Amino acid sequence: MWEWFTSPVDPARVHEVGAVISWHGRVMVLGWGILAPLAVLVARFFKILPSQNWPTELDSKIWWRTHWIAQTIVFALSIAGLLLVLPSDFGQLSLHGWIGYLVLTGLFVQVLLGVARGSKGGPTSPSADGSPRGHHYDMTPWRRTFEALHKAIGYGVLLLAMVAILFGLWKANALMWMVMTLLIWWALLVVLFIQLQARGMAVDTYQAIWGNDLEHPGNQMDHPGWGVRRPGDDLKGANDVRDDRRDGLRGH
């Protein structure tokens, strides 16, 4: 068994890629195979912490800081990995290379979207004139577009990155223990995702930040997306009240 774990994926080829390519693989696996999926899990499931007394305690920034810092590290590792591989033959546009560059393109799009996501607003982040108006607080069309694009591109790029890693491991003829360790890690993350989703921990960002008061514009809008729970809707009659309130506003 130990011999199998320490043997290359393709026994017909030698596992010998050199220090530069080895470091390219390490930084990319660390960034996209480990940190990026963790950052996504934290952002989806920990907007309201299990120990948090919501809605008395609002706007926990642990998920945001964790997500932002982790993805910034992923960005830095991606640049380092790209610089390592560009001068080598390994960087030629094989299938691994094409997918890798698609991942990097998606990463840069995510950065641009993040910069242009608009203002936050709300009672705790008013504008200079004291107004609570903001792209996020008002859930403007641009904010809704940003959230849809950010999530779709984010999940898509993450899946592409995993495929790129697998093709890279094959191209480098990695040892079996490397492949198996990564696959087991991903399997554990999938199981964790399913468990957290089943517990209803994927909650609406808007309510996590501002609570369930129907005075807030975003709470008068439609459901935020697949598998996302509005914790305020768990309160008796919240759905009916919000629908009546929304219909009344449309009537005006």
Please report, rounded to a whole number, the percentage of residues in the chain having pLDDT higher than 90. 73
Q: Is 144 contained in some domain?
A: yes
In this prediction, residues 155-162 reach a mean pLDDT of 97
Please tell me the predicted confidence (pLDDT) of residue 129: 84
- Cα separation, 206 vs 208, in Å, equals 5
Q: Is 10 contained in some domain?
A: no
Tokens standing for residue 46: 């920990």
Q: Is 189 contained in some domain?
A: yes
Q: Is 206 contained in some domain?
A: no
Please tell me the predicted confidence (pLDDT) of residue 109: 97
Whether the pLDDT of residue 87 is over 80: the answer is no
Q: Is 8 contained in some domain?
A: no
- The string of DSSP letters for 111-143 reads HHHHHTS----STTS--TTS----HHHHT-HHH
Work out how many domains the chain is built from and give that number.
1
Q: Which domain holds residue 83?
A: 16-200
Taking CA atoms, 216 is separated from 118, 135, 146, in Å, by 18, 13, 20
Instruction: Express each pLDDT in 64-76 by its tens digit.
Output: 999 999 999 999 9
CATH number at residue 63: 1.20.120.1770
Instruction: Express each pLDDT in 89-148 by its tens digit.
Output: 554 678 999 999 999 999 999 999 999 999 999 998 888 888 999 999 999 999 999 999
Q: How far is CA 175 from the centre of its chain?
A: 29
Instruction: Express each pLDDT in 35-59 by its tens digit.
Output: 999 999 999 999 999 999 999 999 9
Whether the pLDDT of residue 245 is over 80: the answer is no
